Structure 1
Amino acid sequence: MAMRVFRDPDGREWQVWDVVPSREVESGSRRQHYLPPEMAEGWLCFEAADQKRRLTPFPAGWEERDDEFMHLLCRSAELVKARGVARPAEEAQLVEEAHGAD
C-alpha cells in the first residue's frame, strides 16, 4: 500500500492511499461479491479532516505526482458519505464544497 499527504489550494491537508483487494477477494471468496465491479482493481482513498473521497480507477505512479495533480484527482473522486446519521445541513455543505469549485 502506497500512501502520501498533499495540501489542496485551500490549504486543506489530505492523506491519500491505495486500496487493492486481496487475492482472497479476487479469487472468488464471498467478500468479492460485496465489491462493485468498478472497484475490483482497487481505488484511491482521499481523507481530510472533514471528508472522505474514493477514486476508481486510478493512474499508475500517482504517488509520485505533484500536489496540483493530486488535487485534480481528489476533485474527480466520489464523495463518500459518513457512516452514521449525518445532519442535512452538514451533508449539504459537503456536497456544496465538493461541487462548488467546478
Structure 2
Amino acid sequence: MRTFVDEQGTEWTAWEVRPGTGSLARPERRLHDRRREAAPDPVVERRRGEDRRSRSPRARASLVPRTAAWLAFQAGTVRRRLVPIPDAWEGLTDVELRALCRAAAPVARAMVAVD
C-alpha cells in the first residue's frame, strides 16, 4: 500500500486487489454466502472428474487470471482502478504514481440499501 499527494494536494492511497486470493488490502462488499444454506434432499451428484473444492488454496489462487487483479486508488469517496497492475509499482516515484492514477478508470460506488 502506498500513499501519495496529487498536483491539487489531494491525498491518494494505492493498493493491489486480487479477488479470489484473499489478498484484499481493503474489504470489498461481501455477497451472501450460499454455502450456509441447506442442500435440498435428495442430493444428486452429477459432476465428473476432479472435484475443484479439494484443491489446495494455492492451486485455487492460480486459477484467477492476472487480468482479474487491479491497482486501486482512493481519495475520500473517489475510487479509480488500473488494469493490469504495473510491475514493481510499489517502487515508483510519486510523480509516476500520479500518472498511473490519472490513467486509471473511475469506479462507481455501489449503492447499498439501508433498512
Shorter-chain TM-score bucket reads 0.5 to 0.7
Cα-Cα RMSD? 2.1
Matched residues in 2 for 1:18 and 1:62: separation? 10
TM-score by length of 1: 0.63
Matched residues in 1 for 2:7 and 2:94: separation? 9
The Cα shift of 1:48 comes to 0.4
Which 4+ stretches in 1 moved above 6 angstroms? Answer: none
Considering Cα pairs closer than 8 Å and 6+ residues apart, tell me whether 1 or 2 has the greater RCO: 2
Could you list the runs of 5+ residues in structure 2 that have no partner in the other structure? Answer: 22-57
Flag the structure with larger Rg: 2
What amino acid does structure 1 have at the position aligned with 2:93?
D
Cα deviation digits, residues 16-68 of structure 1 (max 9, x gap): 001123253553xxxx6xxxx7832x110000013000000121111111111
The Cα shift of 1:83 comes to 1.4
TM-score by length of 2: 0.56
Figure out how many residues of one structure are paired with residues of the other and give that number.
Answer: 74
Percent of counterpart pairs with the same letter?
42
Equivalent positions of 1:1-102 (< 5 A) are 3-21=1-19, 22=21, 23=58, 24=60, 26-27=62-63, 39-40=67-68, 42-84=69-111
Matched residues in 2 for 1:71 and 1:43: separation? 16
